[in-house]
Amino acid sequence: MKIVYSILCVTAFVIFYVITYLIHINFFQVDVVFYAAIVDGVIASFLMLIVLILLKVFKAFEKFLLICIFLLIGYSIAISVPTVIDRSLSFYILEKIQQRGGGIKLDSFEEVFTKEYVKEHRLVDVRLTEQIQSGTITIENGCVKITEKGKNITQFSRYFRIHFLPKKRLLMGQYSDDLTDPFRNSLPSPNYQCQ
């Protein structure tokens, strides 16, 4: 019987999550899509805690486990649906091909990315806003600076990229390790640095 109640509770959580998310995105300000979707998962979990208390079917530890499950489901939904659609270059490519009548010349994709994607998705504004809200960068006198938190994250991400990303990844028909060190062929001293 508890299994049926558990399944019903998970279903109710998803319904609460979707309703909370729709209210949030339509009637409130959102700084970062991912963080907003996480907050919605926490709110839906809290609502489900109230439901669990009122149900009196589950023991305290079972309620705790269900809340953990709700939080994990909320996180999974937050990162897998709104965040992926908001940030995904892969979705953009598909949407752009469809917008352009179903086909784009292969040699035009660099132009599509540099002249259309960055502008249409306000990519620089979105990513800088996310980093500011995350506390990984600051902007001072027109100079974007990395914070200590940002440095720590980049140390981890560079280490992970070098040691734990595929060394033989398929890129346009050839296997390569280019993305384990994308800065390998960067310009030595670009003119856009600031202090």
pLDDT at position 17: 98
Structure confidence at residue 68 (pLDDT): 98
Does residue 192 lie in a domain region? no
Q: Which residue range(s) make up the domain with 150? A: 95-180
Task: Give dist(CA 38, CA 113) in Å, integer.
Answer: 29
Domain-terminating residue out of 58, 86, 114: 86
The pair of structure tokens assigned to 13 is: 């959580």
State how beta strands 143-146 and 137-140 pair: antiparallel
Distance CA 109, CA 111 (A): 5
CA angle 91, 96, 98 (to 5 degrees): 100
Rounded Cα gap, residues 195 and 179, in angstroms: 28
Same domain, 115 and 169: yes
* Residue 194: inside a domain: no
Q: How confident is the model at residue 34, as a pLDDT?
A: 93
Q: Is 134 inside a domain boundary? A: yes
The pLDDT score that the predictor gives to residue 183 is 83
| Same domain flag for 82 and 132 | no
Residue 185 counted as domain residue: no
Provide the sign of the torsion angle of the four alpha carbons 97, 100, 104, 109, taken in this order. Answer: negative
Q: Are residues 12 and 72 in the same domain?
A: yes
Other Cβ atoms closer than 10 A to 77: 21
Task: Tell me the mean pLDDT per 10 residues along the chain, length 195.
Answer: 93 98 95 94 97 94 97 97 91 92 93 91 92 95 95 95 90 89 79 80
Residue 187: what pLDDT? 73
Q: How many domains does the chain have?
A: 2
The whole-angstrom separation of Cα 99 and Cα 129 is: 27
pLDDT value of position 184: 84
